[in-house]
Amino acid sequence: MPPVVALATLRTVRLRVTIAVVAGVAVALAVGFAFRHEDKPITPVAAAPSSSSKPDAGGRAAGIEDEDTSPVLHPPSGKLASLSCASARAIVAEVRHELAFVPTQPTAAELAAATKDWVDPHGHWAVAPDATPFNAIDEGAAALLGEIGEGKNVNDCPAAVRIGHALATWVNAERGRYDQRAKAAPLAPDTDESHALADALDVATRDGGLHDVTAASLTDELADRSGTLARAFGTPVAKYLATARNRFFPELTPEAWSEVVLGAAVRAWVEQVDPHGAWAPYGEEAAVHDVDLDQDGPSRLWSRATRTLLGVRIEEGALAPLAASDVVLEVDGLMLAGLPIEQLDELALTAADSGQPFDVVVMREGERAPRVLRVDPDAPAPPVPQGHPFDLPSETVAYGSGEVVVVTIPDIYDDLGELFERALARTRTRNVVGIVLDLRGDGGGSTEGAINTLGAFLPGARLFPMRSRSGAVDTDRAPEPPIDEQWTGPVATLIDSGTASAAEMLAGALAAYRRGPSVGTATYGKGCAQEYLDDDAHAGLLRVTTLLFALPDGSPVQRVGLIPTIAFPFHGDGSGDREQNLPHSPSTWTGPDVRDRAWVAKASQFAWPSSGGHVGPCKDTSLCGALALLGEPHHPHTEAREARRVH
C-alpha cells in the first residue's frame, strides 16, 4: 500500500465512505486534537479532469467508485469552509437528484451532531460542554434542517444566521481570553519550548479525557504554548503565532459565521442521507476522494506527521531535503499554523505534485530560528531495492500432487488487472493446480480493477447489472485479455465480514457463474457505487451514490452481502459491522439474471480436484483448513465438521 498521510487521534471515525468499505478499521493521524477521518487513510493526488463523471455509452459512469478517476486537487485556502444559503440549497438539491435511492431525512439530532463536528475543523471545542454556540446548533438544528433539506424560507436561512451570531459572540470572547493568557503564559512543566513547538496538540486529554474537557482549558492550552514560543524564539516565529491565533479564533462577522455553519451543515446533511457520500469545498477534496489505490501517485511532502501549534512535525517519509522531526511552518508561501486537517492532507500532495521547486520553512530540532529549504518534487526518487513495489503478495501451498497459489488482495486497486497478470505470470512454470484469491479484510476499491481482473477468469462475460435512480439498468462485460493472460484452471476466493464492495463484486461474480467457490463467512454487504460530481454551486466536490449493483445472477449485495459457497470460520472474523447496520444506507436491490448461458454451461470444467488429504504446510493454519475443503463434496454440515476438526 502507498504510505499513509497521517496526522491525529480520532474523535469521530466515519466509515470509509467510498466504494471501498472496511468495517471497523480506523487510521489515526497523530494529532492530539481528535478529528474526523475516513476509516482508511486518504492519500490524495492531483490528476484527471474535474468535470462531472456521467455514464458512458456502456452505461457505467466514468467516475464511479471513487477510485476510478482522480480529480484536480486545489491548493488549500487556509479559510474555513463556507456556503451561502442559496449554494447550500443547490448542493442539497443536486444530491437528491443524483442519488440512486430515495434517502431518509436525518433527524435534527443527527444533523446537529455532525454539524458541530464540521463547524469546528480542529476537532477542538465541539466536545466542550461550555462551548455555548454548540448548544445553539442543537437548539436550531430542526429549523436548519428545514432550511437546507426542505427548502423552507427561500429568501434566507435565519436559523444559520442565529447560530452565526452565537458563534461570533463566543469566538470573540475566547479570542480575548487567549490574548490575555498568551501575554502572561506561565512556564508550567508541560509548556516548555520544545513541547510547545513540536508536541501534538493533545489538549483533548489533558484534563483526563474528553468528558473533562472545557472550552476554557482548550483555549488556555493554546495560549500557554503561544506565549512560551513567543518568549523562547521571538520575532522569527511571530507571524506563525499570529496566523495560529487568527485561524483558531477567526475574526468573522455573524453573517460570515452563518455561512460557515451552512458549509458544515451541508457536509453533515450529505453524509447523513448518503452514508457513502460526502461534500468538500475546493481545497479539501482529498477528504472526499479516496485515491490510496492509485499505484502511480505523486510524491508527498511526508507520509506521516503530527499536527502542532505552528504546523506539522514530520514523523516518516519526508521528501528531501525535509527530514524526520522537522516542524514544517510554511509551504510555498502558505503558513500551516491552524490549518484544518483536511487542508493539511491536501497540501501534502498538491505542493509535492506541483512540478516546480518551492520553498518550505521548517524549525529543525535544536535550532533557534526557522530555516528555508528548497524542495524539488521532480528530483529522482531512491531506487526500489528489488522487485515491483506493488506486486501482490502470494504464498504457494502444497495441494494434492501439485500446489495452490494464494494471492492476497488487500484492496481492489485501479490497476489490479495488471497486478494480477504479473502474479499469474509467476505461476506459469510451476505445477499449479489452482489459484485462490484471498479477499479477507478487503474493503473494496475500484470497480474497474475488479472488472479487469475478472477478465482473466470470465473473459467477455456479462457481469453486474447496475441500476440508477431513473430505474435504468445497464450491465458491464469483462474484458477479453490474450489467452496467455487468462487462467483456465480452478479458482476460489476467501471471504469474511471485512470483504466489501468491489471485493464482493470479484468474489460474487466468480461464485454466480460457478467459476470458483467462495470460502469463509458472510461479507459486509455494500452493493452501491459512488460517482464524483463538481457541485452545482461551483464550490466543491461531491461524492454521491449514483448506482446500485447486483451479482450477475441478479442476487442482491446491498445490505445482504455474499453467503459463502463453503462456510469456514476464519480466526478473528467476529460478527463485525455490516452495511445493514449503517444508518440511512441504501435499500436492497435485486437485479435481473444477466449471465451468459455459455459460461454457465462451462461451470463443470473448472471444478477443483481433490487434495487427497495432502494440504500444506501453511503460514496460517486456518488457511490450510480452508484449502482442505476445496475439491471435496459439501452439504450443510460438512463445513461445520471440518471447521471444528481444524480449529
**What is the structure's pLDDT at 19?**
42
Asked if the model's pLDDT at residue 567 lies above 70, the reply is yes
Asked if the model's pLDDT at residue 235 lies above 80, the reply is yes
Cell of 124: 477542538
525-552: average pLDDT: 95
Residue appearing with cell numbers 496566523: 243
Q: Which comes out higher in pLDDT, residue 80 or 5?
A: 80
**What is the structure's pLDDT at 430?**
83
Cell of 465: 447489472
pLDDT band at 295 (very low <50, low <70, confident <90, very high): low
Identity (one letter) of the amino acid at 466? Answer: M
Cell of 133: 454556540
**What is the structure's pLDDT at 291?**
58
Identity (one letter) of the amino acid at 292? Answer: D
Asked if the model's pLDDT at residue 35 lies above 60, the reply is no
**What is the structure's pLDDT at 60?**
30
**What is the structure's pLDDT at 297?**
57
Q: What are the residues facing 547 on neighbouring strands?
A: 529
Least confident of 51-55, 284-288, 303-307, 467-471: 51-55
pLDDT band at 191 (very low <50, low <70, confident <90, very high): low
Asked if the model's pLDDT at residue 67 lies above 60, the reply is no
Angle at 409 between CA 403 and CA 278, to 5 degrees: 165
Identity (one letter) of the amino acid at 533? Answer: L
**What is the structure's pLDDT at 634?**
63
Least confident of 150-159, 317-326, 622-631: 150-159
pLDDT band at 574 (very low <50, low <70, confident <90, very high): low
**What is the structure's pLDDT at 575?**
61
CATH architecture of the domain 394-646 equals Alpha-Beta Complex (3.90)
Q: What is the pLDDT of residues 328-359, one digit of tens each?
A: 999 999 999 999 989 998 999 888 887 889 99
pLDDT above 90 covers a percentage of the chain that reads 65
Q: What is the pLDDT of residues 411-437, one digit of tens each?
A: 998 889 999 999 999 888 789 999 999
**What is the structure's pLDDT at 377?**
83
Please report which residue ranges of 274-379 form alpha helices under DSSP H: 341-350
Strands (E) in 198-349, as ranges, are 278-281, 304-307, 312-316, 327-331, 334-335
22-30: average pLDDT: 29
**What is the structure's pLDDT at 47?**
29
- Separation CA 502–CA 442 (nearest Å): 9
Contacts of 54 (CB under 8 A, 6+ apart): 61, 62
Which sign does the torsion angle of CA 116, 120, 121, 123 carry?
Answer: negative
Q: Decide if 453 contacts 426 (C-beta within 8 A).
A: no
Cell of 276: 457513502
**Which H helix or E strand runs over 547?**
strand 540-549
Asked if the model's pLDDT at residue 207 lies above 70, the reply is no
**What is the structure's pLDDT at 214?**
84
**Around Cβ 67, how many Cβ atoms within 10 Å?**
28
516-521: average pLDDT: 97
Q: What are the residues facing 278 on neighbouring strands?
A: 543
**What is the structure's pLDDT at 66?**
34
Identity (one letter) of the amino acid at 324? Answer: A
Q: Which fold has domain 300-389?
A: Pdz3 Domain (2.30.42)
Q: Which comes out higher in pLDDT, residue 300 or 467?
A: 467
pLDDT band at 21 (very low <50, low <70, confident <90, very high): very low
Cell of 238: 511571530
pLDDT band at 26 (very low <50, low <70, confident <90, very high): very low
Asked if the model's pLDDT at residue 23 lies above 70, the reply is no
Identity (one letter) of the amino acid at 367? Answer: E
**What's 142-153 look like in SS3?**
HHHHHHHHCCCC
392-416: average pLDDT: 94
Q: What is the DSSP string of 84-121?
A: -HHHHHHHHHHHHHH-SS-PPPPPHHHHHHHHHHHHST
Asked if the model's pLDDT at residue 180 lies above 90, the reply is yes
Whole-number CA gyration radius for the chain? 26
Domain boundary assignment for the chain: 75-280, 300-389, 394-646
Mean pLDDT score across all residues of the chain: 82
Q: What is the pLDDT of residues 463-516, one digit of tens each?
A: 999 999 889 999 999 999 999 999 999 999 999 999 999 999 999 999 999 999
Asked if the model's pLDDT at residue 27 lies above 50, the reply is no
pLDDT above 70 covers a percentage of the chain that reads 80
Cell of 1: 500500500
Asked if the model's pLDDT at residue 57 lies above 80, the reply is no
- Asked whether this chain's domains 300-389 and 394-646 adopt the same fold, the reply is no
